[in-house]
Chain A
């Protein structure tokens, strides 16, 4: 079904229509206040002192000289905190607001100062003297796993921070029964989230004990919990207020960071609000990055390309802290269950502590890495067996209704539709193997969850208050991070209540006011929070329906809410204005119209160690084709065309879906071709955007060569059929580029990024191999 047909059939008045972002005006005028744009009277400026050593014991910290510097109002070290570990999974929790007696990576926070201005704060850092006893450090995960390696934490023998293991079916038997078995090792690099807004916050600790943090947080309630944990205070005393967020991508804005703790504790010490802002060098040096991985993938197939068994072993560099690594190391298993039918699958994945900046989530948490391995290998297998790679994918593709070996229940899964769309639109049949040398086409497929059901707090909630002028105040706990949550959630409310999107205001998250929600990550907002909003709007509508039915002398079932009116379906003249209905209900009858809703997806637990069960209420599928041109003199890759089809269930806001699809694509493109956080002995060598290269507008193909397709599957679990759209479309991109580069040059690169030098040495090698 096409978008228009669904809109027509369902009679949608708001959703399905391209709707520019609600906060476009305030962002285009510069009025939107990001965290660093906040100024309070008497506000102090904070700075963090960081460890210059990758691994060391802290013997002594002397802050006396810093404290005496005119303008310095406060200096704090670990002693100012209760020493309680904070973090997400209880069994791996290892964050402290400031390092206590040991530092484990270059950049780890050791002390903080607050001063009347930034220069004084910086100068004060110079006056803090830290006495370290250097400890042996370890930087590579393989070395860190050796028994004689330096140990980062007592609780983690062999530096195994977390692991996830599963085995469904019988992989050994499957491999034995296969006609062809192939094993490859793929390596992926460390990559930064690269959001342009550095982390920033303002902390205030009032005499009453009330603690307020204003910050650009994508998951304010997670921060709220972390603050309470690390400060050892009652969560009820803490208030986290979200500002506009200049990109998150899980680069630290999803959790409590040392700067947040230091801002509030320094405020307590000084009686003033304290602001912290990271410099970009700090952002690029500290933790929060994509895990670099070594992925050994062994796959067995029948001669006709039927996938039989897959064994995957992953070693990931976790860096110096656990972060949410327990989840990170479970999620690659998704890739082994989606998007193809593989009856026998086994995964052993290990996340290893090293003395480097720690890794965590980054847009599409570990999926692009595993897709790079799997989709590159499928292409290699197809070549070996002389099979058409498209047909091989088609033969193995999953479809709606499937249950995967690990228990994922695929309600809908538009993989084959997506495949057909991109094959046809890209002219694949005319191009594959027929393009001139140096020009190539490649594809990849992927699957993605719509919000993981794996956290202890997964449920979403929403509240709606209708004002007497008929406008709607919508509150959820899901922050808009640029992805369009403000708009799509407002559209859902507007559709149900029959008002316009502009009639709905979307509140910034404030932990004292807005309902509980885990936040914006895991591609969960549209489905989870969207369902909660739909329910809240239906609740509010029901309250109005009762009054309208009496006033219009009609059955509530026959009432239609549309275009700011309520009327009887078979007699549209019999109706009333929405705002006057609200006034009658609220102001005369005394029934304030307040709707509430919530959504969760069952409560049977799944162990993140690799447990069986349904990881998400819905799964999306994506298929991407790219065409590239490779300059064989320089190794430079030019992207000539993109065809990306994604099953978003139903595009509630096609404009935002396109934005998300391009965003996911572009980020993966950066990982495929340019980005790499280079570290030598734990020291980041390229902490700047000059040396850490991210895609620019000139790197994208011409707009007329960018083709995005929404595959409509109307998932029964999604609000109005919607599933995720913000991460899945990027999952296959790295592999598609790798496959296209191979198609263009015959060079197969199995490590990221696929830099010009790797392409050139591949070309060199193939030339020297020729007789």
Chain B
């Protein structure tokens, strides 16, 4: 590979994206762990060294009450399966790193970031997405509350906010002010509709 015959005496540098990424990843690892241990080195073995085809697993996922038989790679996230395989695009891909909350879905009633959950981990669990909470054209009370109180602006974070609220009210029908804030602390809203989101949750608690 060209990148391997890098010669420091040459004025020009040959760069591929991988050498760039490796440098970046190592720096990040060094920053976060403070050491450059053997595992870090191993983790950055060239991709070519891994088997070319990762084994696919056949799994059954129960999404919004319906069973889907799917072939997935073990590394595939639940978010990818929902969006790419099942075309349930109501679950949004924001940061894809578990930092924004746009991809929140419920697993057995608990809110999870679907971008940080593997599809194979969801086997045997009830997966609930935004598409599964209304009853036909009748909105779920939480959805109704978000619409009425305008707990949304651009709407990108709304499916996540709504599902986080459904989860909260599922286990705590009359949450305190602090409990509401805590339950939604993992869902960013860059439009800054927070007070309206807060009121939506309160209204939803009343509507239920």
Q: Which residues of A contact B (CB under 8 A)?
A: 20-21, 23-34, 36-37, 39, 49-50, 52-53, 59, 123, 125-134, 193-198, 244-249, 277, 279-280, 481-484, 655-656, 658-659, 662-667, 688-690, 694-698, 700, 702-703, 706
Contact = CB atoms under 8 A, between A and B. Distances in A.
12 contacts: A21-B153, A24-B147, A24-B155, A27-B155, A28-B130, A52-B19, A127-B16, A131-B12, A198-B93, A662-B196, A694-B190, A696-B185
Contacts of A248: 154
Contacts of B18: 126
B195 A662 contact: yes
A40 to B, nearest CB: 12
A71 to B, nearest CB: 13
Contact of B156 (A193, A197, A662): A197
Given A28-B147, A28-B158, A30-B91, A703 B192 contact: no
Nearest to A251: B190
Contact of B154 (A25, A126, A482): A482
A628 to B, nearest CB: 17
A29 B139 contact: yes
Interface of B is mostly: loop
Contact of A696 (B130, B188, B196): B188
Interface in B146-205: 146-150, 152-159, 162, 177, 181-182, 184-185, 187-199
Contacts of A280: 94-97, 99-100
Contact of A20 (B93, B99, B147): B147
B50 interface: no
A695 B134 CA distance: 30
Contacts of A126: 16-18, 47
B97 A688 contact: yes
Contacts of B57: none
A133 B12 contact: yes
A379 B87 CA distance: 55
B92 A197 contact: yes
Given A481-B154, A482-B153, A663-B191, A30 B130 contact: yes
Given A196-B156, A246-B92, 20 more contacts: A24-B155, A25-B147, A30-B129, A33-B89, A50-B17, A132-B14, A195-B154, A196-B95, A197-B92, A198-B93, A244-B155, A246-B156, A247-B154, A482-B152, A482-B154, A482-B155, A663-B193, A697-B185, A697-B194, A697-B197
Contacts of A667: 190, 192
Contacts of A24: 146-148, 150, 152, 155
Given A132-B13, A246-B156, A484-B153, A690 B89 contact: no
Contacts of A27: 152, 155, 158
B102 interface: yes
A697 B198 contact: yes
B12 A659 contact: no
A703 B195 contact: yes
Contacts of A133: 11-13
Contacts of B92: 34, 196-197, 246
Contacts of B197: 697
A664 B191 CA distance: 8
Nearest to B143: A28
B165 to A, nearest CB: 11
Interface of B: 2-3, 11-20, 23, 47, 83, 87-97, 99-100, 102, 129-131, 134, 139, 143-144, 146-150, 152-159, 162, 177, 181-182, 184-185, 187-199
Contacts of A37: 83, 89
B15 A132 contact: yes
B49 to A, nearest CB: 14
B154 A688 contact: no
Given A246-B92, A247-B191, A698 B182 contact: yes
A662 B195 CA distance: 8
A194 B190 contact: yes
A28 B99 contact: no
Contacts of A696: 185, 188, 194
Contacts of B143: 28-29
Contact of B99 (A664, A688, A706): A688
Contacts of A195: 154, 156, 190
A280 B188 CA distance: 14
B139 A197 contact: no
B187 to A, nearest CB: 8
Contacts of B189: 196, 697
A510 B148 CA distance: 29
Interface centre among B12, B134, B184 (most CB of A within 10 A): B12
B39 to A, nearest CB: 21
Nearest to B146: A28
A481 B188 CA distance: 17
A247 B152 contact: no
Nearest to B131: A30
B134 to A, nearest CB: 6
B92 to A, nearest CB: 7
A25 B185 CA distance: 24
A482 B191 CA distance: 8
A34 B185 CA distance: 24
A198 B94 contact: yes
Contacts of B95: 196, 280, 688-689
Contacts of B90: 29-31
Contacts of A664: 192
Contacts of A245: 154
A129 B16 contact: yes
Contacts of B149: 20
A717 B53 CA distance: 65
Contacts of B96: 279-280
A656 B192 CA distance: 12
A248 B153 CA distance: 11
A641 to B, nearest CB: 12
A628 B130 CA distance: 37
A20 B200 CA distance: 12
Contacts of B188: 196, 689, 694, 696
A244 B146 CA distance: 18
Contacts of B152: 21, 24, 27-28, 482
Given A29-B139, A662-B195, A655 B158 contact: no
B129 to A, nearest CB: 7
A492 B198 CA distance: 29
Cβ-closest 6 pairs across A and B: A30-B90, A482-B154, A666-B192, A27-B155, A246-B156, A482-B153
Nearest to A20: B150
Contacts of B13: 53, 131-134
B192 A695 contact: yes
A33 B90 CA distance: 8
B176 to A, nearest CB: 11
Contacts of A34: 89, 92, 156
A456 B195 CA distance: 38
Interface centre among A52, A131, A664 (most CB of B within 10 A): A52
Interface centre among B17, B181, B197 (most CB of A within 10 A): B17
Nearest to B13: A132
A28 B162 contact: yes
A300 B88 CA distance: 61
A349 B61 CA distance: 59
B118 to A, nearest CB: 16
Nearest to B23: A52
Interface centre among B3, B20, B97, B191 (most CB of A within 10 A): B191
Contacts of A703: 177, 195, 198-199
B16 A689 contact: no
Contacts of A128: 16-17
Given A662-B193, A698-B181, A655 B15 contact: no
Contacts of B155: 23-24, 26-28, 32, 244, 246, 482
Nearest to B200: A28
Given A27-B158, A133-B12, A195-B190, A697 B184 contact: yes
